[in-house]
Copies of this chain bind each other. A is one copy, B any other.
């Protein structure tokens, strides 16, 4: 911004990358998470001669392998001595070399796609090859946090047109593994998120797989929610499976409920999330590319996509839901994915429990046809499963729901779930006596009336304060749902925690706002759903 910032991009872009210097590799036992760090002693000849700066990006090479890292300068020979080059844990593993190995270090070349990024920052439209180059650099960890954030913010809001969203999706698929199940129909479902307790996948997969359709569901862990499908399934079974094992299970049982992180599907997505999460960004274009690239990479041919709508859901109006639906449909069609979008009721949490153990309990109750099973969870799962079953050419349009219900009611879904649990590796869990947090308190209604609002965001927040998903038994167990009459003093929900501090934080959150509105039946928000 001052006179000195004069000379633009190209200076940095052609900064020499060839100044090599030989050092002895040392593993520095510092875990810097996704960020590679290299450590160099300040008195090291290389550091002085080459004019590296703290925080500049360097490339460390040995035996044809290389990693990019951010440089930290060290004044303690106990950490790295002169003549040594230290690498943080992740960087050391990425380089895949031994300690004491000779390595060379050079100023890193800027990522090849930096020109495309700059054009996007300048408001230009990007071509497929631009987005390919950007996604490749992101996948290879060539982007710094600054560059990553610039990309995410520059493609935020309406900054990507639908053609660019398609290109981004395609580039993200190409950047990772792509599974091929060698079958004409591979079905999956996905929800754009935002609704606590919405664990339909754990019902839909056993139903659909019991019918004989291929449904290899990989799911994620909670990032900012109180539980992801992977966290909840992990209460019942192992979910971190090697990709070969996962494929065996799918072949044998027609389905699985595993964590997707091991499969390297659309790996750029995981890197982008590391920036999107702290900024709580969830732009339509990025959402579409993220979800569809994962599904296509996972080999899905048919996808049922759930867009919940409600005052505290991600999507709050029907026009917004329709815009999002059209964008999903445009990209899916061009990527040859058969997509069925359903717009569902997102006015309140689904089911009764919020938190891994509580949600696992709800799921098992539905599978066992337990009279205490939450009807809304059962109903939603059956409708989603019904839609998926109708991808089977032998199922007539409109018959899916009844078939799904038969599979569930007959116990075949439960049987399939038990097969999947055994195949993945059963964990001890008794849903009749679930191990809930040992501390708890109830939140009560103040005044008489009808429950006419439940804030998804606040309930999720309370469950997280209580310790979910890290503390598996922590969370919120709902006693009243929308439309139910309550009287002053009735319990609205119970909060479970394992640690006094967690309990206290959750209690404070409840005091600020219980998340419940009690009023008249006519005050309930209306939503028009397409389902």
* A49 to B: closest C-beta gap in Å: 8
A34 at the interface (CB under 8 A from B): yes
Contact A460 B279 (CB under 8 A): no
8 A Cβ contacts from A153-177 to B: 153-154, 156-157
Residue of B nearest to A461 (CB): B11
Cβ of A411 within 8 Å of any chain B Cβ, yes or no, is no
Distance A14 CA – B470 CA, assembled complex (angstroms): 17
Task: Give the distance to chain B from A72, nearest Cβ to Cβ, in Å.
Answer: 5
Smallest beta-carbon distance A60→chain B, Å: 17
Quickly give the copy total for this chain: 2
Residues of chain B with a CB closer than 8 A to A223's CB: 2, 4-5
Find chain B residues with CB under 8 A from A123 CB: 157
Closest Cβ neighbor of A156 among chain B residues: B121
Closest CB-CB distance, A254 to chain B, in whole Å? 23
In the assembled complex, which residues on chain B have CB atoms less than 8 Å from the CB atom of A464? Answer: 7, 11
Interface residues of A in 177-224 (CB under 8 A from B): 190-196, 198, 219-224
Query: Chain B interface: which of A142-150, A373-381, A388-396, A444-452?
Result: A142-150
When the two chains form their complex, are residues A509 and B14 in contact, meaning their CB atoms are under 8 A apart? yes
Residues of B contacting A121 with CB < 8 Å?
A: 153, 156-157, 279, 281
Complex Cα distance, B55 from A89, in Å, reads 14
With CB as the reference atom, state the residue of chain B lying closest to A290: B1
Is the CB of A319 closer than 8 A to any CB of chain B? no
Would you call A225 and B282 a contact (CB within 8 A)? Answer: no
A6 touches B122 (CB 8 A): no
**Which residues of A, 67-114, contact B by the 8 Å Cβ criterion?**
72-76, 78-79, 88-89
Q: Among residues 24 to 81 in chain A, which have CB atoms less than 8 Å away from a CB atom of chain B?
A: 28-35, 39, 42, 51, 53-55, 72-76, 78-79
Residue in A12, A53, A88, A191 with the greatest tally of chain B CB atoms within 10 Å: A12
Does A278 make an interface contact (CB < 8 A)?
A: yes
A35 proximity list for chain B (CB < 8 A)? 55
Q: Which residues of the partner chain B approach A228 to less than 8 Å between Cβ atoms?
A: 2-4
Which residue, of A5, A228, A505, has the highest number of chain B Cβ atoms within 10 A?
A5
A35 to B481, CA, bound (A): 47
Question: Which of A51, A79, A153, A277 gathers the greatest number of chain B CB atoms within 10 Å?
Answer: A153
Q: Judge if A8 is at the interface, Cβ distance under 8 Å.
A: yes
Given the interface contacts A31-B72, A281-B121, does A276 sit within 8 Å of B1 by beta carbon? yes
In the assembled complex, which residues on chain B have CB atoms less than 8 Å from the CB atom of A10? Answer: 457, 461
In the bound complex, do residue B147 and residue A5 qualify as a contact, i.e. CB atoms below 8 Å apart? Answer: no
- The chain B residue with its CB closest to the CB of A506 is B16
Smallest distance from the beta carbon of A404 to chain B beta carbons, Å?
Answer: 21
Q: Is A439 an interface residue (CB 8 A)?
A: no
Contact B192 A3 (CB under 8 A): yes
Q: Is the CB of A2 within 8 A of B150?
A: no
Any B CB within 8 A of the CB of A302 = no
**Contact of B505 with A16 in the complex, beta carbons under 8 Å:** yes
Do A145 and B147 touch (CB < 8 A)?
no
B72 pairs with A224, CB closer than 8 A: no
A291 sits at the interface (CB 8 A): yes
Partner of A7, one of B33, B122, B224: B224
Asked if A287 and B11 make an inter-chain contact with CB atoms under 8 angstroms apart, the answer reads no
15 example contacts (A-B, Cβ-Cβ < 8 A) are as follows: A3-B220, A3-B225, A6-B195, A6-B196, A6-B225, A6-B460, A7-B196, A12-B280, A29-B75, A118-B279, A145-B146, A146-B148, A146-B278, A149-B150, A150-B153
With contacts A1-B273, A3-B192, A3-B228 known, what are 7 further pairs, Cβ within 8 A? A3-B191, A3-B229, A5-B223, A5-B224, A10-B457, A118-B280, A149-B149
Q: Residues of A at under 8 Å CB distance from B?
A: 1-12, 14, 16, 18-19, 28-35, 39, 42, 51, 53-55, 72-76, 78-79, 88-89, 118, 121-123, 144-150, 152-154, 156-157, 190-196, 198, 219-226, 228-229, 269, 272-273, 275-282, 286-287, 290-291, 294, 314, 456-457, 460-461, 464-465, 470, 501, 505, 509
